[in-house]
Amino acid sequence: MVKVEYVENGDRIRHWSDRDVKIRQTETGVIYEDAVDYIPCRYTYEETDIPIEDEPTAEELVGILLGGAE
């Protein structure tokens, strides 16, 4: 489900998926991990089946760069 919360002192709205998948802006087809829009929000969003992949931590990146990652 696409979730919504108010941010930035209530003048913006954030959309994201509670299933850890990317969301698609239905008006443009652009895909986001999360989206923040000014209120009033002109856009609507829907979930995709594209998972949000975990990004490596700084330590993991160092290990990759130094050749120590598996």
- Residue of higher predicted confidence among 31 and 57: 31
User: What's the pTM?
Assistant: 0.74
Say yes or no to pLDDT of 45 above 90: yes
- Mean pLDDT to the nearest integer, 49-59: 83
> Per mean pLDDT, which range of 1-10, 42-51, 54-63 is the poorest?
54-63
Size (the chain), residues = 70
Domain region containing 56: 2-65
pLDDT above 70 as % of the chain: 96
**Whether the predicted pLDDT of 22 surpasses 90:** yes
For residue 59, tell me if it sits in a domain: yes
- Residue 70: inside a domain: no
pLDDT at residue number 68: 62
Residue 13 lies in a domain: yes
